[in-house]
Structure 1
Amino acid sequence: MTGDDHGAAAERTRLAWRRTALSAGVVGLLAARPAFHPDAGVPQWITAALSGLGWSFLVAIAYRRARALMKSPPHPGRRTIAAYALTTVALAALASLVVML
């Protein structure tokens, strides 16, 4: 096996970004779940809105990165990866708030 197959590596990375966006969607839905309880208050609605916003941002970043990986040669994603990581950390912090509410 040679190391010259850049297309397969880019495709695997693109699929990994897609899987991560889908799993972030599940986390976003779980974080928004308390807002649909009959006695939900403002904190639950704010948490649901923030989780939806975070998920939307992650999907947009993943789409942008997947498009960049289709180019030959693929563009490096330094800022995209950093933004994705920061948003993931923010969603993790938001999830901890959901647990405490």
Structure 2
Amino acid sequence: MDLQDQLKDLFPDHEFEQEEHVESSENTIWIQDEPLLCKYEKRKGKPITIIDGYNGADKDFKILAKELKTKLSVGGSFKKESIIIQGDYRDQIMSILQEKGFKVKRVGG
């Protein structure tokens, strides 16, 4: 006897509705008009890659930041509407973003 049957025994008058499974919004990311800017900088002598120019929701941009850090196996952060990745990963980041349907522009070098 599963939980659904036990609940039917406890509440015989209640009609249970089937819940629809909603697909995760992980694959739906705001597609924008302006390209994302992929910049390279050095801060305190260490290289970083900055992704800037996203005009969608912050929640989606944070999900994208986490996905990039996981795929590249690097550290990084999300600050002031930009993603900061530790190291020079412009080529890999640009290819990942283009696979997702973003327009990407390389800035600086």
Q: Same fold (TM over 0.5)?
A: no
The structure carrying a bigger strand percent of its residues is: 2
**Structure (1 or 2) with the larger CA radius of gyration:** 2
TM-score of the superposed pair, with normalisation by structure 2: 0.26
TM-score of the superposed pair, with normalisation by structure 1: 0.27
